[in-house]
Structure 1
Amino acid sequence: GSRHLYLRFIRPFLLKHQAKLDQLVGFIYGEMVSFRHDICA
């Protein structure tokens, strides 16, 4: 079931696109920090 889906589809996708996903998460984190700073200032 779910283990097969993860090993067959999800994990290979995440490994293939890991660098892009890391960039995206970093960008979103930076935007959230900036937004929070703007709200609290």
Structure 2
Amino acid sequence: MLAKMVQEFEWSAYPPGSEIDFAGKLEFTVVMKSPLRAMVKPRV
């Protein structure tokens, strides 16, 4: 299902032009320090 979503949709950072920070922070599990937000639109 994940592969189909990647194939069928175009993904971009939200808000446009924002930097994606993959730094983590330690909690019960490791989570992203800054949540990843994305805009998704169908490919044409």
Which has the larger share of strand? 2
Which has the larger share of helix? 1
Structure with more contact order per residue of length (Cα contacts < 8 Å, sep ≥ 6)? 2
Q: Settle same-fold status: TM greater than 0.5.
A: no
Structure index of larger Rg: 1
TM-score (norm 1): 0.28
